[in-house]
Amino acid sequence: MSKIGFIGLGIMGRPMAGHLLDAGHTLTTVKRGSLDNILAEKGVKEAASPKAVAETSEIIITMLPDTPDVEDVLFGEGGVIEGLQPGTLVIDMSSIAPIPTQAFAKRITEAGGEYVDAPVSGGEGGAINAALTIMVGGTEEGFKRALPVLEKMGHSVTHIGDHGAGQTCKVANQIVVALTIEAVAEGLLFASKAGADVAKVRESLLGGLAQSKILDVHGERMIKRTFDPGFKIHLHQKDLNLALEGARSLNLSLPGTANAQQLFQACVANGGAQWDHSGIVRALERLANHDVGDS
């Protein structure tokens, strides 16, 4: 069993850390207010700073909102790199920009550590059920070291390529997810406005070529009006920004991604930054002057 530092105990991080504790690993995190009761009961230790976490850890996992957050935890004042022990494996499971990820990996490697980027897909449900899809960038050696830990949190772990490749895969994932959520929202909105029983429409679609996890989970959210996250709109916005910034650097057009980003922005403008990303349907409903499920 390993001594693991886990920094970022949010909606996703809490259950992920819980699975590692259940597997017998010891966990240390940075003290930030009151510790989750379940994790406290399982024996999570707290340290004053990322540096202090690194000083007692063989493996460090970060699960943070954005690129600047990861950079600050790793390289800011009192950061991980100041307490990094020789051979420490740093696994960043956040969803951040691929090019900075490559720079982070270089700095950690030069400091004597091993770096792996391992962003995830599957949302809160996947985190709770240890059923995440994990996309890994790093050396073959880094992947082999990380795999036993990652398998405690996910059911599908794929080594995509070198440093940054995991983050590139995650950006592609977020493009597909956003556009599929939008497609489900448009389909259900069309059916509802035309007067069909939208719940039965969804049930029927789940039996055909249109079936998907998103139609199943997020289609139900749209019908039942349950927009508590889940995965927050402002975080998916961040991921689509990464996609569009990358597209500009590659001289690539992503019109569907840009449209989904604008719909997310419309949600944010109407107070929806903290909604689940299935709440994109609300932007379309406002345009249609009709809510999914209205008779």
Q: Is-catalytic flag, 170?
A: yes
Is residue 16 within 8 A of residue 63, CB to CB? The reply is yes
What the block records as the tokens of 78 is 């009192």
| CA distances in angstroms from 79 to 59, 88, 190, listed in the order given | 15, 14, 51
Going by C-beta distance under 8 Å and a sequence separation of 6 or more, which residues neighbour residue 103? none
Opening angle at CA 117, ends 69 and 256, nearest 5: 80
Residue 167 CB-density burial (10 A; 0-12 exposed, 13-18 middle, 19+ buried): buried
Q: Which helix (H) or strand (E) holds 15?
A: helix 13-22
Judge whether 160 and 166 are in contact, CB under 8 Å. Answer: yes
Do β-strands 120-121 and 132-137 pair in parallel, antiparallel, or remain unpaired? antiparallel
Collapsing DSSP to helix, strand or coil, 183 comes out as: helix
For residues 54 and 88, is the Cβ–Cβ distance under 8 A?
A: yes
Cα of first residue to Cα of last residue in the chain, in angstroms, is 57
Alpha carbons 155 and 129: distance in angstroms, whole number: 9
Which residue of the set 51, 170, 232, 238 is catalytic? 170
Report the alpha-carbon distance of residue 132 to residue 147 in Å, rounded: 13
Strand ranges inside 51-122, DSSP E: 59-62, 89-92, 114-117, 120-121
Kindly list the catalytic residues: 170
